[in-house]
Structure 1
Amino acid sequence: METGEVNHPPKRFSATAEADELARFLDSLTVMADECKIRTSPNGLQARAVDHANVGMVDGELNADAFESFDTTNGVLGVNLTRFEDVVNFADSGELVTLEYDTEKRKLHITVNGMEYTLALIDADTIRQEPDIPDLNLPSTLKVETGDLKRGIKAADMVSDHIELKTQLAHSSDQLIIEAEGDTDDIKLELDDRDLIYSSIGDNVASLFSLEYMKNIKKALPTNGSVEMEIGDEFPVKLRYGNEEETLSVEFMIAPRISSE
């Protein structure tokens, strides 16, 4: 997903989608940022944001096929994500949300559940610049069930504020190991070929991450489905997921905590 060079609002933008579709897109963005630039194009909506500490990044796209109707030109909207998400959450599951950009007042009109809400937009020039995605050639790629990853994160939260992700080839079976070590207790979850949907491990690697970021990502992950992970040795981890309709795609990247040993 590449951000465009356009830095002005769209000349027109109107769209209607199920609230669930918009909510999934916004959930992924609010994990990392309170505000961001949402880019509009005939292909759909795209946004990329980094958190204030420069530890986590999200790159999300909701393509035009996710919408009941979608009409726009290329442009960029500066959005307060928290307020936008709060309005969308007024809708019941399956209910339609209509978005209409007012080019004169430079505000976004949102119609949901019989309510009309006018969202004041933010000058895109005042929002932090979208980050470039590092070109990383990470040695291990795996696809895991969302439930297994959530289970590992939840267990790690019981004992520590950090989580370690490891991959290794043991007994001719690829393994993903999720570990956390606390002051008194430890947890370890091993997933092998029987659990992994896909794996390609080029090397035994290990990286340590702040659990707070993983817990936030856990909130945005779908209840069902899978997550693709790329892991290196003391390198950032990449986590990618989408929906069954392939209209949503999200990639997170989390920087590691480098071991002092």
Structure 2
Amino acid sequence: MSAEAEGADDAPTTEAETFTATVEAGVLDSYLDCLTAFVDEAKVELTADGLHVEAIDAANVAGVFADLPAGEFESYDAGGGVVGVNIGKLQTAIGLADGSEAIVTLYLDPETRKLDVDGSDFSYSVGLIDPDSVRQSPDRPDLDLSNRVTLGADQFKRAVDGVENVSDHAGFHVEPDDEALFIVGEGDLDDLEFEFTRDDHLHDFDAEGPSTSLFSHEYLDSVTGKLAGPVDIDTDDQMPIWLTFERNGATVEYMIAPRIRNT
């Protein structure tokens, strides 16, 4: 993704009119938490198949694409359209539930433009925001990235946390001959290199050729606490990195643009 990445067209958004669902509080909170890596507000598409979000950060450097299927809900009825959500406010409402397994009911009131969140002993009406006031979603880039490696979320976090000690950028190097992913920090005084091999660490490795890209530690750090399970890492030489994983039933993809190296 480049700083020139464009959003979707500027046609008025079709606001949702009907939505009723019940879901475990922890499932919905986990989904919302993944969105907060890069944005505070989002347009949430209430599709027949579930919730869908595409959002980009204010600097046009990173994006999140996330789906929570209807099958993860106890019940789900949506008539299509979009709602504008302040993610933190909705998380606050969900957080009032009596535990992560407690069931909450969501109801969209089309007249008040509020999302009612009801638990066993509370009711919280969350004011929605005009979807057209939310930053436009990006056009999803059609990138043909040559390399995919799969690394555990804990190992990814360990490497990114380690790089912070020496540099504010992390290099991702894929070496097909070694069947290895190197995550590297190069500082003014110190250097750090993690080597994750297919034999010892990687769940999968599929690379067409060597590649190197450099990413801001700030953006990588924003996602490390959100990742779960095996993480598919799609990358190529000086291209954006895609991180794809599943968490509590949701499928989440993060994309981070590289820092262009001086030559």
Pair in the same fold by TM > 0.5: yes
Q: Distance in 2 between matches of 1:20 and 1:220?
A: 14
- Answer yes or no: is 1:147 the counterpart of 2:151: no
Query: Which runs of structure 2 are paired with 1:78-117 in the superposition (5 Å)?
Result: 78-91=84-97, 92-112=99-119, 114-117=121-124
- Answer yes or no: is 1:233 the counterpart of 2:233: no
SS in 2 for 1:28: helix
**Which residue does 2:252 correspond to in 1?**
250
Given the superposition, is the C-alpha separation of residues 150 and 12 from structure 1 closer, same or farther in structure 2, using an over 3 Å criterion? same
SS in 1 for 2:225: helix
Cα-to-partner distance string for 1:29-86 (whole Å, 9 max, x where unaligned): 1111111100001210001100000000000000101101111111100011121122
- Answer yes or no: is 1:53 the counterpart of 2:63: no
The answer to whether the Cα contact below 8 Å between 2:27 and 2:100 also exists between their aligned partners in 1 is no
Aligned mate of 2:209, from 198, 203, 208: 203
Cα-to-partner distance string for 1:159-194 (whole Å, 9 max, x where unaligned): 221111110023xx3110000112222211001111
Range that drifts further, 120-129 or 48-57: 120-129
Q: Distance in 1 between matches of 2:27 and 2:232?
A: 21
SS in 2 for 1:85: helix
Cα-to-partner distance string for 1:118-174 (whole Å, 9 max, x where unaligned): 11111111111110111111111111111111111111122221111110023xx31
SS in 2 for 1:93: coil
Q: Report the alpha carbon displacement of residue 6 of structure 1 after superposing the two structures with TM.
A: 8.8
- Answer yes or no: is 1:67 the counterpart of 2:69: no
The answer to whether the Cα contact below 8 Å between 1:38 and 1:76 also exists between their aligned partners in 2 is yes
Q: Report the alpha carbon displacement of residue 90 of structure 1 after superposing the two structures with TM.
A: 2.8
Query: Unaligned regions of 5+ residues in structure 2, if any?
Result: 1-7
Task: Return the TM-score normalized by structure 1.
Answer: 0.92
**Which residue does 1:39 correspond to in 2?**
45
SS in 1 for 2:237: coil
The answer to whether the Cα contact below 8 Å between 2:12 and 2:132 also exists between their aligned partners in 1 is no
SS in 2 for 1:220: coil
Range that drifts further, 103-112 or 44-53: 103-112
**Which residue does 1:183 correspond to in 2?**
188
Query: Which runs of structure 2 are paired with 1:95-174 in the superposition (5 Å)?
Result: 95-112=102-119, 114-170=121-177, 173-174=178-179
SS in 1 for 2:179: strand
**Which residue does 2:198 correspond to in 1?**
193
The answer to whether the Cα contact below 8 Å between 1:90 and 1:113 also exists between their aligned partners in 2 is no
Identity %: 36
Aligned CA-pair RMSD: 1.6
**Which residue does 2:4 correspond to in 1?**
none
Q: Distance in 1 between matches of 2:120 and 2:223?
A: 28
The answer to whether the Cα contact below 8 Å between 1:6 and 1:76 also exists between their aligned partners in 2 is no
Query: Unaligned regions of 5+ residues in structure 1, if any?
Result: none
**Letter of the aligned partner of 2:259 in structure 1?**
R
The answer to whether the Cα contact below 8 Å between 2:93 and 2:126 also exists between their aligned partners in 1 is no
Q: Distance in 1 between matches of 2:40 and 2:255?
A: 17
Query: Which runs of structure 2 are paired with 1:10-49 in the superposition (5 Å)?
Result: 10-49=16-55
Q: Paired residues, what number?
A: 252
The answer to whether the Cα contact below 8 Å between 1:101 and 1:109 also exists between their aligned partners in 2 is yes
Q: Distance in 2 between matches of 1:138 and 1:113?
A: 47
Q: Distance in 2 between matches of 1:127 and 1:183?
A: 40
Task: Return the TM-score normalized by structure 2.
Answer: 0.91
Q: Report the alpha carbon displacement of residue 251 of structure 1 after superposing the two structures with TM.
A: 0.6
Given the superposition, is the C-alpha separation of residues 112 and 164 from structure 1 closer, same or farther in structure 2, using an over 3 Å criterion? farther
SS in 2 for 1:184: coil
